[in-house]
A and B are shown apart, each in its own frame.
Chain A
Amino acid sequence: EVQLMESGGGLVQPGGSLTLSCEASGSTFSSYAMGWVRQAPGKGLEWVSVTYTPGSNIQYADSVQGRFTISRDKSTNRLFLQMNSLRAEDTALYYCANIPLARGGAFDMWGQGTMVTVSS
């Protein structure tokens, strides 16, 4: 079983940058894909980005395309989300989650989340 722990959240001004990290432990070899999902205060879940094999394919939601960059370091079992040009609407609790091949495209295990607040 995979365990995930996010870090790197905080308060940042509009237009600023922040990098989130997600450390994976346990049966990480079973993670076909890894992704980020966020939840704005009082809102529902929103898929943000995913990286998946083969070929380390990457996709982003339209709302973050061109501003966010997802990356994965398999040697350290870490997933990252580089966030640039942050906006107030990016304020949310950010979760990382894994997708084992056996789950199709369902997010199997989730972290506890890290909070990002964009405000002046």
Chain B
Amino acid sequence: EIVMTQSPATLSMSPGERATLSCRASQNVNANLAWYQKKPGQGPRLLIYGASTRATGIPARFSGSGSGTEFTLTISSLQSEDFAIYYCQHYNNWPPMTFGQGTKLEIK
């Protein structure tokens, strides 16, 4: 089973700053990687699929990059509504599809 590892576990930042979240796969997953945003009391929201394609309605400040085993989610200028938990998920030769353990983006 492919293991997804996210870092850091917690990221403390201020509104307006640039945030960089990392996700590493234990094996090559090509570009079959998605990013989700999770807020309390809400279902997850798909942000990025195919490692770099923004989902419908996702603001341009969210961008994804990477391929193979190393991936990055960048939020160019943090807004108050962006503070949440972010998960990566691989879907290479799915199923199965596994999630990372999450990165909590909190206000500094």
Contacts and interface: CB of A to CB of B under 8 A. Distances in A.
B67 interface: no
B95 A44 contact: no
Interface of B: 32, 34, 36, 38, 42-46, 49-50, 55-56, 87, 89, 91-92, 94-102
Contacts, number: 70
Given A104-B32, A105-B94, A47 B50 contact: no
Given A106-B49, A107-B34, A110-B43, A44 B102 contact: yes
B99 to A, nearest CB: 4
B45 A104 contact: no
Interface of A: 1, 37, 44-47, 50, 59, 61, 95, 97, 103-113
A44 B100 contact: yes
A102 B107 CA distance: 35
B27 to A, nearest CB: 15
B32 A107 contact: no
Given A59-B95, A105-B91, A105-B94, A45 B44 contact: yes
The 5 A-B pairs with the shortest beta carbon distances in the complex, nearest first, are: A105-B91, A110-B43, A106-B49, A106-B34, A59-B95
A59 B98 CA distance: 13
A105 B43 contact: no
B101 A108 contact: no
